[in-house]
Structure 1
Amino acid sequence: MRKIRLLIVDDSVMVRRRVSEVLSNDPALEVAGVAANGQIALAKIAQVNPDLVILDVEMPEMDGLETLAAIRKTYPNLPTIMFSAFTERGATATLEALSLGAKDYVTKPFQMGSIEAANQHLRQELIPKIKVFCGESIETTTLNSDRDLKTSSINQQLTYRKRAIRNPKPIEAIAIGVSTGGPNALAAILPQFRADFPVPILIVQHIPPMFSQRLATRLNARCQIPVIEGFDGAKLEPGTAYIAPGDFHMSVDRLGSIVQLRIHQSPPENSCRPAVDVLFRSVAQTYGAGALAVVLTGMGHDGLRGCEGIRSAGGQIFVQDKASSVVWGMPGFVAKAGLADKMLPLDQIAAEILRSVANCIQ
């Protein structure tokens, strides 16, 4: 089988060498070329014909954003993963790159304590994304390797089945889980909610620290509702969206008539922190049948267990469809488990949320 051909673009010789070594050790991958800046990269694309480009964000002469724009213009279907520094500037540029058409991003493995830790970061974060974006599905393998999920309802229902909703309780909160492709998906949904949206919105986007704050700021500037990074003890307000901070779980609990956020660093779940399952479990416990969960594009199966809890509590579940998802992992698992009430393309999700909230209020 033909290997996946990669072009690595980074101004650091050490970074190019490290990434090349790690990727070349995977039998499915081949480093077809490297480049020290965007201008060299554009020339190399025509020479080596890569299947995917790994693109540094900050480079001299021609930075990652300029290079990405040129790639999208000449090679619109060539997948690109941004390789971002763990800085505020890197976070801002990376989010801009996603809006310009980059498939996803991976943070550089700096200050991880050892070379092996850095290599492991690349193996876990970069290689699976390369394979998914180049057409190799790893979602089923991810699930089957997890013993804890072998008894899950995913194994009891193999095809999507829409669940009838009878006499729904008024919706009291929206909980959204999303990963790969999430910033653009959220940017498509949240601006459609008016300032008088009647319930709080809770969001877990798989994202590192600093990136979550920049994402909240970016979305807030585009939305009529406030979008903020969640903080411990925050009292939930209607018409406000709360994004879980990177590397922290976010959950909710009720104190009398007040529902507030809890931000904590319990162990990762599904290799994620924040994890969608943590949020969804707490939403099911706090709001019961008044919860509406929305699972958007993303790799893996985070959110599946949480959706089981929301369904058991009588809440509703919407999932993004395969055609509009960057990766149909998270929503796909929920749909195939028979847990979804509705499966919708991205451009219809906001309208369906609004319709559901309005129908429950009437």
Structure 2
Amino acid sequence: MAIRVLVVDDSSFFRRRVSEIINSEPRLEVIDVATNGREAVEKVQRLKPDVITMDVEMPVMDGITAVREIMASTPTPILMFSSLTHDGAKATLDALDSGALDFLPKKFEDIARNRDEAVTLLQQRVLQIASKKAFMRRPVVARSEPVTPAATSPTASPLQRSSLSTGNLSHSRPVSVSARFKATGKKYQLTAIGTSTGGPVALQKILTKLPVNYPHPIVLIQHMPATFTAAFASRLNSLCKIQVKEAEDGDVLRPGVAYLAPGGKQMMVEGRPGAAKLRILDGGDRMNYKPCVDVTFGSASKVFSDKVLSMVLTGMGADGREGARMLKNAGATIWAQDEESCVVYGMPQAVAKAGISSEDLPLDRIAERMLVEVGLA
């Protein structure tokens, strides 16, 4: 049975264009369209689609308000379309905060090198988030048993899920709600976090729980367009006790400051422990990800060796696996977000299945685990 999609946009041209792309994938079917947020809310309640594509700016009711109402009454996976402007970035972050799972630029030429690539990307995103629908309403049930290949199920909803992880993760230690963490006793000089789809919400959940005296610098690599990272860093800085900034070339790493890699660029760590700084370089035509987790993690392994506490969070693909491997070979600590709390269990799964991560952590407990590990709890 095809995945049923509701397309919401006030532009008849865009509705038609998106509908044609979605309907050209045999596993997808556009069941209806809506011209504004109010109409979308009503049609979601009546038609119960599997996925919604949603514009941000619309008459009668905007996309952000529509997302809030839909998530309150009929939780459904939502893919936002956004303009690549500063205001568009702020609105998209608001939509993700309200429960939307992912976003794409509204101009397809901004997301791919050619039309075929853009078409495939849109279809893949809709298929990917459709798998979350069955778990949108389920409560969190943290697991305490080891994960085995036999214990499999689809991935879960945006922030609250209850499925079992897939793949051979017997090397990592799953965590139950009642588990009390114990520090390993290792000493750190840098925290490094890499993420993609679902990352804005995940990073906000973690960083807002860190105290102002967090003892070392934090580097953040989030797959995000260039116009979005400044707005995202500003939002995090306004919400967090620690300082959060978009990284600039030459930034000296300071304790209690989180540096977000600029979109469209690569962020590398250079220097030596105690006097390390950031280099912001051109994204590179051959790089799939700009910024790339592998690039930053790999450079951190050369400067800080075993003194890095690193995490790979929710995201599509496998970026971070090879950089995490370099960190592990240097003696650093690598954790992966567990499947239940991921929007997309791609990047963490790649690290876990490769036997690189040492712990498999639910999003809601990662900050707690960090504070125990660095001696603040």
TM-score (norm 2): 0.83
Instruction: Determine the structure 1 residue equivalent to 2:117.
Output: 120
Instruction: Determine the structure 2 residue equivalent to 1:349.
Output: 366
Q: Within 2, Cα distance between the matches of 1:9 and 1:54?
A: 6
Instruction: Determine the structure 2 residue equivalent to 1:300.
Output: 317
CA offsets per residue over residues 76-111 of structure 1, 9 Å max, x none? Answer: 2x1111111111111111101111111111111266
Q: 1:253 to 1:355 in 2, by over 3 A?
A: same
Instruction: Determine the structure 1 residue equivalent to 2:24.
Output: 25
Partner letter of residue 339 of structure 2? K
Alpha-carbon distance, 1:56 to partner:
0.2
Instruction: Determine the structure 2 residue equivalent to 1:204.
Output: 221
Counting matched residue pairs gives 335
1:80 aligns with 2:78: yes
Q: Within 2, Cα distance between the matches of 1:166 and 1:323?
A: 24
SS at match of 1:81: strand
CA offsets per residue over residues 183-218 of structure 1, 9 Å max, x none? Answer: 111111111211111100000011111211111111
After superposition, residues 10-159 of structure 1 pair within 5 angstroms as 10-76=9-75, 78-109=76-107, 117-118=114-115, 120-124=117-121, 126-135=122-131, 158-159=168-169
Aligned partners of 2:191 and 2:309 also within 8 Å: yes
Aligned partners of 1:269 and 1:277 also within 8 Å: no
CA offsets per residue over residues 250-286 of structure 1, 9 Å max, x none? Answer: 1110168521111112436772111110110001111
Alpha-carbon distance, 1:70 to partner:
1.8
Aligned partners of 2:273 and 2:304 also within 8 Å: no
Q: Within 1, Cα distance between the matches of 2:51 and 2:111?
A: 29
Q: Within 2, Cα distance between the matches of 1:113 and 1:328?
A: 22
CA offsets per residue over residues 105-141 of structure 1, 9 Å max, x none? Answer: 1111266599x835532422x22221122229xxxxx
Aligned equivalent of 1:191, options 180, 183, 208? 208
Instruction: Determine the structure 2 residue equivalent to 1:152.
Output: none
Q: 1:247 to 1:65 in 2, by over 3 A?
A: same
Instruction: Determine the structure 2 residue equivalent to 1:151.
Output: none
After superposition, residues 326-345 of structure 1 pair within 5 angstroms as 326-345=343-362
Instruction: Determine the structure 2 residue equivalent to 1:154.
Output: none
Partner letter of residue 71 of structure 1? I
Alpha-carbon distance, 1:349 to partner:
0.8
1:180 aligns with 2:197: yes
Aligned equivalent of 1:282, options 299, 310, 319? 299
Q: Within 2, Cα distance between the matches of 1:111 and 1:319?
A: 33
CA offsets per residue over residues 28-67 of structure 1, 9 Å max, x none? Answer: 1111111211122233334543211000001111110111
Aligned equivalent of 1:214, options 223, 226, 231? 231
Higher helix share: 1
Aligned equivalent of 1:249, options 239, 242, 266? 266
Structure 2 residue ranges without an equivalent (≥5): 133-166, 174-181
Partner letter of residue 85 of structure 1? S
Q: Please say which of residues 331-340 and 199-208 is displaced more in the overlay.
A: 331-340
Aligned partners of 2:45 and 2:74 also within 8 Å: no
Partner letter of residue 91 of structure 2? A
CA offsets per residue over residues 145-165 of structure 1, 9 Å max, x none? Answer: xxxxxxxxxxxx9434038x9
SS at match of 1:73: helix
Q: Within 2, Cα distance between the matches of 1:353 and 1:113?
A: 34
Aligned partners of 1:268 and 1:274 also within 8 Å: no
Structure 1 residue ranges without an equivalent (≥5): 137-156
Q: Within 2, Cα distance between the matches of 1:270 and 1:326?
A: 24
Q: Within 1, Cα distance between the matches of 2:233 and 2:327?
A: 26
Taking only aligned residues, the RMSD between alpha carbons, in angstroms, comes to 2.4
Partner letter of residue 187 of structure 2? P
Q: 1:112 to 1:65 in 2, by over 3 A?
A: closer
CA offsets per residue over residues 296-330 of structure 1, 9 Å max, x none? Answer: 11111110001110000000011111111111111
Q: 1:166 to 1:51 in 2, by over 3 A?
A: closer
Q: 1:167 to 1:39 in 2, by over 3 A?
A: closer
Aligned partners of 1:19 and 1:122 also within 8 Å: no
SS at match of 1:192: coil
SS at match of 1:353: helix
Q: Within 1, Cα distance between the matches of 2:357 and 2:222?
A: 20
Partner letter of residue 117 of structure 1? N
Q: Please say which of residues 288-297 and 66-75 is displaced more in the overlay.
A: 66-75
Aligned partners of 1:268 and 1:275 also within 8 Å: no
